[in-house]
Amino acid sequence: MRSRPVTPQQEETAERQVGGFTIGDPLATAPKGMTEAPEPDERWQLPNGFAHVYFGERNRGITRPVIMADGFNLGRSDLNWLYVGLNGADGGYPLLDQLRRRGRDVILLGFEERTASVLDNARAAEAAIMRTVAEQLGAAPLSVGGFSMGGMITRFALARLEMQRMDHRTRMYFSYDSPHRGAVIPVGLQAFAHFIPVANDFARQMNSPAARQMLWRHYDPHSGRIGVAPERQEFLRKLEEVGSWPRLPRLLALANGRGDGAGLGIEPGSFALGVQRIYPGTVFSTQAQGRDVVVAELKRRFPQAEKTITTSDFPETDGAPGGTLRSYGILADMLRKFGGQVDLRHEHVCFVPSVSAVSIRDIDQHKDLYTAVDDIDPGESDADDFLCSVTNTGHTAITEELCTWLLDRLPD
185-208 pLDDT tens trace = 999 999 999 999 999 999 999 999
- For 154, list phi and psi in degrees, rounded to 5: -70, -30
pLDDT at 7: 72
Q: Are 271 and 328 in contact (CB under 8 A)?
A: no
Same domain, yes or no, for 192 and 246? Answer: no
Same domain, yes or no, for 65 and 165? Answer: yes
Of 401, 362, 357, 322, the residue nearest 145 (C-alpha):
357
Q: Does a structural domain hold residue 3?
A: no
For the chain, give the percent of residues with pLDDT over 90: 89
Rg (CA), the chain: 21
Instruction: State pLDDT tens for residues 211-235.
Output: 999 999 999 999 999 999 999 999 9
- Distance between start and end Cα atoms, the chain: 65
> What does each C-alpha distance from 346 to 10, 249, 266 come to in angstroms?
28, 40, 8
Angle at 76 between CA 72 and CA 81, to 5 degrees: 75
Among 351, 378, 394, identify where a domain stops: 351
Residue 172: CATH number of its domain: 3.40.50.1820
Cα–Cα distance for residue pair 298/288, rounded to 1 Å: 18
> Positive or negative, the Cα torsion across 24, 157, 239, 256?
negative
Same domain, yes or no, for 163 and 219? Answer: no
- Residues 6 or more apart whose Cβ sits within 8 Å of residue 120: 48, 209
Q: Are 250 and 173 in contact (CB under 8 A)?
A: yes
Structural domains of the chain, count: 2
Same domain, yes or no, for 254 and 291? Answer: no
Among 351, 375, 396, identify where a domain stops: 351
Same domain, yes or no, for 254 and 326? Answer: no
Same domain, yes or no, for 403 and 274? Answer: no
Q: Is 227 helix (H, G, I), strand (E, B) or coil?
A: strand
pLDDT at residue 34 above 90? no
Strand partners, 109: 51, 69
* pTM of this structure: 0.96
Minimum mean pLDDT among 14-18, 42-46, 134-138, 148-152: which range? 14-18
Domain that holds residue 188: 8-23+182-229+264-351
Which amino acid type is present at position 31?
Answer: P
Q: Are 316 and 265 in contact (CB under 8 A)?
A: no
Helices (H), 53-176: 79-86, 95-101, 118-135, 149-163
Same domain, yes or no, for 221 and 284? Answer: yes
Same domain, yes or no, for 72 and 140? Answer: yes
Q: How many CA atoms lie within 13 A of 282 on its CB side?
A: 32
Same domain, yes or no, for 196 and 310? Answer: yes
Q: 101: how many CB neighbours lie within 10 A of its CB?
A: 12
pLDDT at residue 98 above 70? yes
Q: Are 91 and 122 in contact (CB under 8 A)?
A: no
Q: Does a structural domain hold residue 1?
A: no
pLDDT at residue 3 above 50? no
